Amino acid sequence: MTTRTLPNPGFGTFRLEGETLRQSVHAALDLGYRHIDTAQMYGNEAEVGQAIADSGVPREEVFLTTKVWHDRLQPGDLEASVEESLERLGTGYVDLLLIHWPSPGDEVPMADYLRALQSVQRAGKARNIGVSNFTRAQLDQAVEILGEGALLTHQIEVHPFLQNRPLIEHCERHGIAVTAFMPLAVGKVMEDDTLVRIARAHDASPAQIALAWLNQQGIVAIPSSTKAHNIRSNLAAFELTLDDEEMQAIAALDRGERIADPDFAPDWD
């Protein structure tokens, strides 16, 4: 599965703010990350933009992702919300613009907001577009509306305890790269006996094993951390290689444990 222009790994900024965010983004960029992920809903776009500007890394070397929240999907409002995001980020374009969640209850027709998303791309304000948290049925609908090849990625929850295989295979059939959020299951990977055992064999951490497992499947991960040591070790995870037996042992950990499941989420298929 190709990831075109999507650098792996990315650095997630959910729940980061203020000086903690600034130091974390600077540490990530200093260590070599070139993909920074934010969203309107995170409330930190201005701080993310400032941290990138202050980092000394040229803007054109940073792959910057943001996302449109589900209350701004009406055509006209979506475009206005993107202008606001760009102003906060201090940039004329983002490298990737995602629909953060499908419209709850299809309040806004998908064709309306996806065509608005595409118009933002055609205006040069988003180099690539994609979706997040769509079901298989919704992904089919999106491809039908925009055509094959229009969507760069589908950002979904993937970690050893929610492996989302049917949805990942669906993305692969459409040639859409998968980006995994919450790849460390908000720290739960650190306590799993199987991951701890495999980590010992590689002189690594369970978090590194979870990231290596994703990488070997061609999945882009966007781990988040506030500690420079963890930001560095997350990057080093992409140099690890797991054997078939280890990959199979991790595959057996899937228990459908979904962490991101708000009341406005779609009916997962």
Binding residues for substrate: 100
Active site residue 113: no
Judge whether 62 and 37 are in contact, CB under 8 Å. Answer: no
The token duo for 141 is 């609908």
| CB neighbour burial string for 150-185, b if at least 16 within 10 angstroms, e if fewer | bbbbbbbbbbbbbbbeebbebbeeeebbbbbbbbbb
DSSP 188: G
Q: 73 has which bridge partners? A: none
Instruction: Give, in order, the Cα–Cα distances in Å from 7 to each of 91, 124, 234.
Output: 19, 20, 14
The annotated binding site is made up of 100
Give Cβ neighbours of residue 193 (< 8 Å, ≥ 6 apart). Answer: none
| 33, 42, 93, 113: the active-site residue | 42
DSSP-derived secondary structure for 13-82 = -TT--HHHHHHHHHHHHHHT--EEE--GGGT-HHHHHHHHHHHSS-GGGSEEEEEE-GGG-STTHHHHHH
Catalytic residues: 42
